[in-house]
Amino acid sequence: MKSNFSRIIQGCMNWGKWGSSLSQNEMERLIHFNLEKGITSFDHADIYGDYTTEMEFGKAFKNSSIKREEVQLISKCGIQYVGETRLNKVKHYQYDSDYIIFSAEKSIKDLNADYLDIFLLHRPSPLMHPDEISKAIETLLSQGKINSFGVSNFTDIQTDLISTKSKVSANQIEFSLSHNKPLFDSSLDYMFVNDIIPMSWSPLGTIFKDKDENNKKIHFLLEELMKKYNASKDQLLLSWILKHPSKIHPVIGTVKTERINAAKNSLSIDLSEIDWFRMLETYLGHKLP
């Protein structure tokens, strides 16, 4: 599928109370900065900030004077979160038709957006039914409230289940050098074959968080490659993802302008196949079969 999203997507989970608690002016400036760097796609979910971050972003977006067609807005629904804003007794998933429509309409209103470029089911539910989901998605598509539909954190068979009734255009999964399972469990191959746009959340993985032996070895290699490619470690990790032929869209989560700029510049790194495999084998700690 031809993607209308910027290759690097800006994730907004940390913009509100779950992270940096940016003011409206700070959000507005950050939206403009991303656009200046060619990052025009913004990833949201209804639950971010205990169901408050989309509204805060929407106020900043409305005040920014940016035209709606200049950006692509992604949102997700389905997780009923236990927090301060909803009287949920337990975290669960809800995918009845009325709730899906309610969630999409609320995100559109909160984001001051008129429509969503793509609307994702946030996580699979054991009780989800493709007919019920399809009823909602067909309504939202026919009313022009969403341009396309997708999923997040779904396995291949779960995607197949939903695809029996609704066209799935994207799947946002966890993928990075340190969380490389999708390379080997057919997830990325499945998306390639089925014309589904892959998006990867947490694209830097645990490389800068954990201090295990694998990470020590990969940092040693990255220091060597930094000189070869004149690039930072985070840029090399993003370029490793970008090298994959399925054309993955990394969803970055930073609010720091220098890291946003670095992410944008990772697009120009031409990582060789040998170095791609060196990074993978170094992290795995063994040769590929």
Choice among 48, 51, 229, 283 that is catalytic: 48
**Model pLDDT, residue 289:** 87
Q: How far apart are CA 153 and CA 121, in angstroms?
A: 9
What is the band of 1 on the pLDDT scale with cuts at 50, 70, 90?
low
Q: Map out the domains of the chain with their CATH numbers.
A: 9-210+237-268 (3.20.20.100)
* Residue whose entry in the numeric block shows the structure tokens 């220098």: 258
Integer Cα distance of 214 and 42 in angstroms = 32
Cβ neighbours around 129 below 10 Å, total: 15
Task: Inform me whether the pLDDT recorded for 2 exceeds 80.
Answer: no
Nearest CA-CA partner of 30 in 202, 204, 260: 260
pLDDT of 173 over the 90 cut: yes
How many Cβ atoms are within 10 Å of 276's Cβ, its own excluded? 15
pLDDT for the residue 94: 98
Residue among 1, 87, 19 at smallest CA distance from 10: 19
Give the pLDDT confidence of 30-44 residue by residue, as tens digits. Answer: 999 999 999 999 999
CA distance 51 to 5: 24
Q: How far apart are CA 102 and CA 98, in angstroms?
A: 6
User: What per-residue confidence (pLDDT) applies to 210?
Assistant: 81
Predicted confidence band of residue 251 (pLDDT cuts 50, 70, 90): very high
pLDDT at 214: 83
Question: pLDDT tens digits, residue range 96-108?
Answer: 999 999 999 999 9
- 266: pLDDT strictly greater than 80: yes
Given a contact cutoff of 8 angstroms between Cβ atoms, the answer to whether 168 and 162 are in contact is yes
Give the Cα separation of 69 and 117 in Å (integer): 10
- State the Cα–Cα distance between residues 143 and 68, nearest whole angstrom: 17
Whether residue 196 is predicted with pLDDT greater than 80 in this model: the reply is: yes
0.95 surpassed by pTM: yes
93 part of the active site = no
pLDDT at 3: 86
Distance from C-alpha of 163 to C-alpha of 200, rounded to nearest angstrom: 20
Q: Which has the minimum average pLDDT: 167-171, 211-215, 271-275?
A: 211-215
